[in-house]
Chain A
Amino acid sequence: MLFLLRRLGFYLAAFFVAITLNFFIPRLMPGDPATRILLSLRGKLNASQIEAVREAYGFKGNLWEQYTGYLWKLAHLDFGISTVNFPEPTANLLYYAAGWTLFLVGVATALSFGIGIVMGIYSAWHRGGFFDTFFTPINVMMNAFTPAVVALLLWYGFTMQWPLFPLGRAHDMNLTPGWNWETVASISWHAVLPVASIVLVNFGAWHLGMRNTMINLLNEDFVMLARAKGLSDSRIRYRYVARNAILPQITSLALSIGYVFGGAFITEVVFNYPGLGKFTLNAIQTRDYSFIQAQLVLLTAAVLVANLASDVFNVLLDPRLRTGARA
């Protein structure tokens, strides 16, 4: 319990560092966002309107007043108003994009994890065999093929060369989303390529992680004991070795679930998918600072919660941590 409390304290501190960075980075850059907006509207505003714009974007008063104002707004989940989709509050856009990203990257992460773990178990058990010597390096190399290349080639191959899948977007344009079969089919059909592009790049890391942890465990005494007791191969493989080897993988899984909220920038750009990555990029290109900041807060919060979840999970799964002896 003490262990978890200490971790919680650390995450709160880290969150504080993050939102403080988030506050200062735009202010360290030459020309604050409000001034840039004013410049683009030059001559159309009078003095009091200029003051109003500065206030709306939290650039009024001295630095300390700005900072406390920023924290106050943040505590009320008030992310300001989007400059591009003007009257729309940033929070609404953020939640809309987060929904699509959660679906896209969530499904992709689950698939990569599943495929990678199964392959990792297999190649660790038959280490040195054909599958292991051939597919382990290849799968990890896919990881280094960068999402840009993989997504671009998939997109070209399966929408242009062999037009099997739609060019982009999350569903058909002339479809009103609703809970019916048509919607589900359209959404899944549109998600095939984007999901594939993420899975292809990511599953190799899970494969390698699971394989290496499992190979290290195979040399442990308890495995030999299990063998000496005459337990069946599959029992040793799954109940003894894989079960222990999956602990660190679950920690990483929790972390990547947090990173889901980072969005898949490249995939979403290539497939024109309305997720967080694409929205953030739009925000960057149109200098919509409130969205960028809101996205960063959301992501940091998600990653920290995921970290905390993985700590709780580890305490539940690993009795050694429950004594609080090791941090």
Chain B
Amino acid sequence: MTVVLPAPVSTPATPEAHHLAPAPAELMRELGIRSRPGILSRLPSWLRVFVRNKKGLFGLIILCVFVVTAALAPLIVPYDPYRRAGKPHMQPSIEHLLGTSRQGKDIFSQLLEGGRTSLTVGLVAGLSATLIGLGIGISAGYFGGRTDEVLTFVVNVSLVLPALPLIIVFASFIEEASPTIIGLVLAFTGWGWSARTIRTQTLALKNREFVVAAELMGERKWRIIIMELLPNMSSFVVGGFVLATIYGILAEAGLEFIGLGSPSSVTWGTMLYWAMRAQALQTGAWFEVWPPAVAIMITGAALVLINFAVDEITSPELRAGRHIRRVAGFLKRRGRTIDVG
């Protein structure tokens, strides 16, 4: 809503300073807007939006650090994480940065190796779930009719059926589920939400002019889906991926913690499992519990921050809240109030 002010009848010959509209620089200072550094404008626009969002940038940096250390784990681990490297429950020292576990394995090496497995399982499970959801959601939304009916029924069933117990039952019938199997099961049970969001989004897009135009031009269906629909819902896809990854990492850790994983694999979940089995906390071996616990917490926090950023990019009114106080102050000094808040 814009307020149309009446045009001034006559312009005074020598306007006084306070009648002048403030210079852009002053306005920007008052509203706390900083001009973008030059490097930023060279980034692709989706990345720029991300980098300008403090929460998202922070989360992304943390996650990148974890991913890089995890990827390099085989090169930098000081000991073999699967083998005994010293006496049981040695205190942290120069030799063993985070001490050793009850079984005498080096915890620092296990932490890195565990991160590799946990992050891989989480990311792969998240990615697969997103891809399944994307495929089913787009097909249901775009093709409509009988396809939509059948697919929507499948989606609804998968949403209504409780996932975690299903996973647990799966995991229990497959004895000693390896991280790979846990990841597959998580992907298989975790795609419902993204399929539903993507379907809704496809329905909203498919009658828009550019899609209709592409159809009239005789584009093939798969090309319309990939070139026209997909780029316009990228933020939903990314959001779904982040959520599915959080779910994947946490669910994997949870399953392994309660002892449904394969105890011989090294992940953050199995590290916690062994620490609990060895009664590490009761015997003062805090260094067996804290590293995997803190690693899971930090990873979860980083992903949540990224998810916040994606949310704010998807629906800008959530972001508006951050600047609203400045704007309110700005308007108040000019004798206006902001309409809501």
The answer to whether A144 and B160 touch (CB under 8 A), given A132-B321, A149-B296, A281-B259, is no
Which B residues are CB-close (under 8 A) to A21?
161, 166
Judge whether A99 is part of the interface by a CB distance below 8 angstroms.
Answer: no
Q: B340 to A219, Cβ gap below 8 A? A: yes
- Distance from B29 Cβ to chain A, minimum over Cβ atoms (Å): 19
The reply to whether A141 and B173 contact each other, CB–CB distance below 8 Å, is no
A265 and B341 contact, Cβ closer than 8 Å, known pairs A14-B156, A129-B325, A148-B253:
no
**Contact yes or no, B340 A152, CB < 8 A:** no
B107: min CB distance to chain A, Å: 16
Number of interface residues of B (CB under 8 A): 52
Distance between B83 CB and nearest chain A CB, rounded to angstroms = 26
- Majority SS at the chain B contact face: helix
Q: Are A137 and B55 in contact (CB under 8 A)?
A: yes
Given contacts A149-B296, A269-B258, whether A307 and B170 have CB atoms under 8 Å apart is no
Interface centre among B55, B162, B166, B315 (most CB of A within 10 A): B162
Given A146-B254, A149-B296, residue A280 in contact with residue B311 (CB < 8 A): no
The interface bits of chain A over 13-35 (1 if a CB of B lies within 8 angstroms of the residue's CB, else 0) are 11001100110011001000000
Cβ contact within 8 Å between B318 and A212:
yes
A10 at the interface (CB under 8 A from B): yes
Known pairs A152-B289, A266-B258, A303-B162; A145 contacts B322 (CB<8 A): no
Which among B136-144, B196-204, B207-215, B302-310 touches the partner chain? B302-310
B257 & A148 in contact (Cβ 8 Å cutoff): yes
Q: Is A105 an interface residue (CB 8 A)?
A: no
Please choose the segment from A182-190, A242-250, A291-299 that sits at the chain B interface, where 4 or more of its residues have CB less than 8 A away.
A291-299
User: Does B150 lie at the interface of the complex (its beta carbon under 8 Å from any beta carbon of A)?
Assistant: no
Q: Which of A128, A143, A223, A292 contacts B340 (CB 8 A)?
A: A223
Question: Does A140 sit within 8 A of B, measured CB to CB?
Answer: yes
Q: Given the complex of chains A and B, what is the CA–CA distance between A146 and B324 in angstroms?
A: 33
Chain B contacts for A128, CB-based, 8 A: 321-325
Would you call B165 and A262 a contact (CB within 8 A)?
A: yes
B304, A141: Cβ atoms under 8 Å? yes
Chain A residue at smallest Cβ distance from B269: A148
Contacts A152-B276, A266-B254, A304-B160: A160 and B169 contacting too (C-beta < 8 A)?
no
Instruction: Report B135-189 residues with CB < 8 Å from chain A CB.
Output: 153, 156-157, 160-162, 164-166, 168-170, 172-174
- Which residues does chain B contribute within 8 Å of A266, judged by CB atoms? 254, 257-258
Instruction: Tell me if B161 and A17 are in contact (CB < 8 A).
Output: yes
Q: A149 and B168: CB pair below 8 A?
A: no
Which residues of B are found within 8 Å of A129, using beta-carbon distances?
Answer: 325
B132 within 8 A of A: no
Question: How long is the Cα–Cα vector from A259 to B163 in the complex, in angstroms?
Answer: 10
B246 at the interface (CB under 8 A from A): yes
Contacts of A156 in B (CB 8 A): 281, 289
Say yes or no: A141 contacts B301, CB within 8 Å: yes
**In the complex, A270→B157 CA distance in Å?**
32
Interface residues of B in 62-96 (CB under 8 A from A): none
| B40 in the interface (beta carbon within 8 A) | no
Q: Which chain B residue lies CB-closest to A133? A: B322
**Of B161, B258, B311, which is within 8 A of A18 by CB?**
B161
Distance in angstroms between the alpha carbons of A142 and B57 in the assembled complex: 20
- Chain A residues, CB < 8 A from B246: 144
Q: Are A296 and B170 within 8 A (Cβ)?
A: no
A148 to B164, CA, bound (A): 15
Residue from the list B300, B315, B317 in contact with A141, Cβ < 8 A: B300
Cβ of B260 < 8 Å from any Cβ of A? Answer: yes
Q: Are B165 and A296 in contact (CB under 8 A)?
A: yes
Residue of A nearest to B311 (CB): A212
Complex CA distance for A17 and B158, rounded to whole angstroms: 10
In angstroms, Cα B341 to Cα A224, docked, is 11
Which of B55, B173, B339 has the largest count of A CB atoms less than 10 A from its CB? B173
Flag B292-334 by CB within 8 Å of A: 1 or 0 each.
0100110111011100100100010110011111000000000
List of B residues within 8 angstroms of A227 by Cβ: 339-340
Q: With both chains docked as a complex, state the minimum distance between the C-beta of A31 and any C-beta of chain B, in angstroms.
A: 10
> How close is A48's CB to chain B, nearest CB, in angstroms?
28
- 26 A-B pairs with C-beta separation under 8 A: A10-B156, A13-B153, A17-B157, A21-B166, A127-B341, A133-B322, A140-B308, A141-B305, A144-B246, A146-B297, A147-B254, A152-B272, A216-B317, A224-B340, A227-B340, A258-B162, A259-B162, A262-B162, A265-B164, A265-B254, A284-B168, A284-B172, A296-B169, A299-B165, A300-B161, A300-B162
- Since A127-B341, A148-B269, A296-B165 are in contact, a sample of 7 more A-B pairs with Cβ atoms closer than 8 Å, ordered by chain A residue number, is A25-B170, A137-B305, A137-B308, A141-B301, A144-B246, A262-B164, A292-B169
- B residues with a Cβ closer than 8 A to A are 55, 153, 156-157, 160-162, 164-166, 168-170, 172-174, 246, 250, 253-254, 257-260, 269, 272, 276, 281-282, 289, 293, 296-297, 299-301, 303-305, 308, 311, 315, 317-318, 321-325, 339-341
